[in-house]
């Protein structure tokens, strides 16, 4: 499974680098504009951090689309991989891309600190909150895909369960916005993301058609 | 003394798959090592579904498949060592080069031989350093064949491998397939609606229509039994055994028979005159079987 996951990460690496490059450009532009044109302190750290995390989430969606379009499971199931391992690759990819996006916030904030001369350590929890939320959104992609596949394969219970968890996760995510200043907000987001991961993996395992 | 028979390359037992408004099977089919079986049928007959079930990409609703005695299921991996599959889509990393895709597969597939992959790549003249997305359809098929053959499978499943290829590439692909099957150890099941391929490669033919196997028999047997017969007979309502198509202009009759011997014997008894018998090509017979859709009793060997 790790070999396949590594290959997928290597394959989508140029997209991630491109996304992070755009994020860095936007961040630099914003920092310069706010710092020098408006003569302010520069944008807050959490604003800077949002861009690379969003880049990670967007690449997770791109990867999901390309993997489906290129019928990757056909190739991977020709080898020694089992559907369980393939499900692992499918749900771990968003984790990896959002995680890499979150990691990229460190040099971005450092760079912004250099430009603006200001650093707010208190912003770290806000950044963690954003990272968790975008990760949860990214996990909804595979869940929607598997719920659609279940419908196409006429597995009605799986379809209903998949879409019910999808709607439930969105409601939990929406409710969590009101509690993001406390631990309950984080727990809500994490529960939604993990539920989406778990159900997407379970639906993948119960597929009756891996040909597309 | 024990009667030791080798495991069949593939055994389909009551294989059934239902989609909305379509049912494949139940199919029962045995493919012995060394056999090249062409699965012939019109679009939507169930050829791809059959091959996908045999490759473990689709889970059947009932029945199942065994490859060299190992049950086929997506969650099992034992059978995969023996199966090479070329489908319409092969799942390659489209933006990677052909070489990089093969390198990835080399690390994934047990039994992979880099030597075999290079030889086949050279044999096909495959541009290995081009991204897969930039390869022509013919080259994509060649790459899929290299990927399917480099781990030395004993059963090859080919889903319309020559469809859309120009005659030169098609001939190259068929040459390689013919060489592979020459040793008598490999079994090949390939679906096609390019009927000219049949003569070149297939030992046996299985005709699928509306998800059902309507006929399976040897290519030579088919050629021997089917004939076009014209004769003169004044009896207007003559009913001949084995005849699948009949035309009549006054006393002149023209029939196509799937059992030439019986038909000719009957004609002799009826006193038919000016009997002329002509052979039919396998292509013509295949078209006839699929067009007429008459359900011929299975003649499995």
User: ipTM of the predicted structure?
Assistant: 0.80
Residue A31 pLDDT exceeds 80: no
Higher-confidence position of A171 and A211: A171
- List the single residue in B19, B57, B107 with the smallest CB-CB distance to A210: B57
Averaged pLDDT, B150-173:
84
In this predicted structure, which of A31-40, B38-47, B188-197, B248-257 has the lowest mean pLDDT? A31-40
CA A120, A122, A125, A130 torsion: positive or negative?
A: negative
Residue B281: its pLDDT value, please? Answer: 82
**Residue B25, Ramachandran bin (φ over 0: left; ψ between -120 and 50: alpha; else beta):** left
Determine if the pTM surpasses 0.90.
no
Separation in Å, CA B76 to CA B71, B79, B274:
8, 7, 62
B26 or B288, higher pLDDT: B26
With contacts defined as CB-CB under 8 Å, which chain B residues touch A82? 74-77
- Contact flag B104-A81 (C-beta cutoff 8 Å): no
Averaged pLDDT score across all residues of chain B: 84
What pLDDT does residue B130 have? 92
**Tens digits of per-residue pLDDT, A104-125?**
888 887 877 777 677 666 567 7
Chain A partners within 8 Å of B147 (Cβ): 78
With a pLDDT cut of 70, the percent of chain A lying above it is: 91
Contact A84 B58 (CB under 8 A): no
Query: Do B48 and B88 meet the contact criterion of CB atoms below 8 Å apart?
Result: yes
DSSP letter at A205 equals: H
Per-residue pLDDT reduced to its tens digit, B285-297: 888 887 765 444 3
pLDDT at B70 over 80: yes
In chain B, CATH 3.40.50.300 sits at 10-221
At residue B88, does pLDDT exceed 90? no
CA distance A211 to A77: 9
Minimal Cβ distance to B93: which of A11, A78, A79: A11
Pick the most confident of A141-155, B3-17, B209-223: A141-155
For residue B301, pLDDT beyond 80: no
Are residues A199 and A143 in contact, defined by beta-carbon separation less than 8 angstroms? yes
CA dihedral B182, B184, B187, B188 (to 10 degrees): 20
Euclidean distance between CA atoms A199 and A166, whole angstroms: 9
Number of other residues whose CB lies within 10 A of the CB of residue B301:
10
Closest partner CB to B74 (pick from A72, A77, A80)? A77
Are B143 and B135 contacting, i.e. CB atoms less than 8 angstroms apart? yes
Residue of B nearest to A73 (CA): B91
CA–CA dist B144, B131 (Å, integer): 14
B10-221 CATH pick, 3.40.50.300, 3.40.50.2000, 3.40.50.720, 3.40.50.1000: 3.40.50.300
* Span A66-80, average pLDDT: 82
pLDDT of B299 > 50? The answer is: no
* CB hemisphere CA count around A168 (13 angstroms): 14
A208 touches chain B (CB under 8 A): yes
């Amino acid at each position: 499974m790790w070999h396949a996951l590594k290959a997928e990460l290597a394959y989508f690496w140029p997209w991630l680098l491109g996304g992070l490059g755009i994020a860095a450009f936007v961040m630099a532009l914003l920092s310069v504009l706010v710092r020098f044109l408006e003569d302010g302190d520069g944008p807050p750290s959490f604003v800077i951090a949002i861009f690379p995390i969003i880049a990670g989430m967007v690449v997770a969606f791109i990867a999901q689309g390309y993997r489906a379009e290129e019928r990757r499971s056909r190739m991977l199931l020709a080898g020694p991989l089992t559907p369980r391992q393939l499900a692992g690759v499918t749900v771990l990819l968003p984790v990896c891309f959002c995680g890499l996006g979150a990691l990229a916030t460190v040099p971005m904030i450092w760079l912004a600190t250099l430009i603006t001369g200001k650093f707010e350590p208190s912003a770290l929890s806000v950044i963690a909150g954003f990272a968790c939320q975008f990760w949860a959104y990214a996990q909804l992609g595979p869940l929607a895909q598997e719920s659609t596949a279940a419908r196409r394969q006429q597995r009605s219970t799986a379809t209903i369960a998949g879409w019910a968890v999808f709607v439930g996760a969105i409601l939990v995510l929406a409710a969590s916005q009101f509690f993001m200043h406390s631990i309950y907000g984080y727990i809500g987001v994490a529960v939604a993301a993990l539920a989406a991961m778990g159900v997407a993996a379970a639906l993948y395992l119960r597929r009756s058609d891996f040909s597309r | 003394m024990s009667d030791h028979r080798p495991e069949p390359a593939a055994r389909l037992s009551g294989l059934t798959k239902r989609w909305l408004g379509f049912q494949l099977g139940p199919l029962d089919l045995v493919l012995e090592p060394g056999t090249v079986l062409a699965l012939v049928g019109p679009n939507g007959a169930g050829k791809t579904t059959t091959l996908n079930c045999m490759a473990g990409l689709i889970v059947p609703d009932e029945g199942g498949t065994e490859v060299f005695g190992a049950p086929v299921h997506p969650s099992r991996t034992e059978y995969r060592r023996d199966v090479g599959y070329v489908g319409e889509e092969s799942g390659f990393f489209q933006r990677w080069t052909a070489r990089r895709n093969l390198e990835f597969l080399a690390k994934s597939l047990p039994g992979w031989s880099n030597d075999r992959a290079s030889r086949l790549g050279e044999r096909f003249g495959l541009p290995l350093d081009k991204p897969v997305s930039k390869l022509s359809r013919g080259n994509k098929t060649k790459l899929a064949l290299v990927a399917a053959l480099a781990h030395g499978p004993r059963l090859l499943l080919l889903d319309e491998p020559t469809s859309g290829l120009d005659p030169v590439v098609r001939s190259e692909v068929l040459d390689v397939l013919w060489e592979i099957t020459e040793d008598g150890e490999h079994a090949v099941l390939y679906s096609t609606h390019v009927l000219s391929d049949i003569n070149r490669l297939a030992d046996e033919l299985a005709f699928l229509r509306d998800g059902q196997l309507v006929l399976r028999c040897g290519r030579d047997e088919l050629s021997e039994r089917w004939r076009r017969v014209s004769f003169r007979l004044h009896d207007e309502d003559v009913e001949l055994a084995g005849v699948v198509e009949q035309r009549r202009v006054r006393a002149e009759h023209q029939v196509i028979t799937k059992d030439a011997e019986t038909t000719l014997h009957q004609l002799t008894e009826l006193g038919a005159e000016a009997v002329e018998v002509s052979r039919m090509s396998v292509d013509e017979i295949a078209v006839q079987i699929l067009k007429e859709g008459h359900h011929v009793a299975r003649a499995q060997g």
